[in-house]
Amino acid sequence: PPKKERGNKKLAKEMAMCRTVLAELEAHDEAWPFLLPVNTKQFPTYKKIIKSPMDLSTIKKRINEGVYKSKDEFTADMRIIFNNCETFNEDDSPVGKAGHSMRTLFEARWLELNPQ
């Protein structure tokens, strides 16, 4: 089949994998800090400190709107979530701890679905 069709099939497969991992993270007990954008009225300094806010609902929207051109763009946004969390939260805070465990979960699951 033509290159363009092969590429579209590959991307559809990659996005299905992204949806799977996203759904698993959303279902996790420790996903609560990451389900929606950080409320900047509740945390007024957030906008100033975090230059690229990101959350699981935004990533879901981007998958469904066809924003991602590869699974690597998806993983880059996922890692922004966890890096933002480390920037804004103490490691031993509830949100900080949730961020570390969700990052570990994500990276382990991503490796399972993407044997290197």
Ligand X SMILES: Cn1cc(C(=O)NCCN2CCCC2)ccc1=O
- Binding residues for ligand X (CB under 6 A): 32-34, 38, 43, 85, 88-89, 95
Q: Which is nearer to ligand X, 8 or 87 (CB)?
A: 87
Q: Look up residue 105 and give its two tokens.
A: 């979960």
Smallest distance from ligand X to CB 89, Å: 5
Q: Which is nearer to ligand X, 63 or 85 (CB)?
A: 85
Query: Which one, 34 or 74, has the nearer CB to ligand X?
Result: 34
The answer to whether 74 and 67 are in contact (CB under 8 A) is: no
- Closest contact distance (angstroms) between CB of 23 and ligand X is 19
Q: Apex CA 108: angle with CA 32 and CA 7, to 5°?
A: 100
Straight-line distance from the first to the last Cα atom of the chain, in angstroms, rounded to the nearest whole number: 26
Q: Minimum distance from CB of 87 to ligand X (Å)?
A: 8
- Residue in the structure block whose two tokens are 């389900």: 35
Least Å distance between CB 90 and ligand X?
11
Q: Determine the Cα–Cα distance for residues 54 and 36; give it in Å rounded to an integer.
A: 8
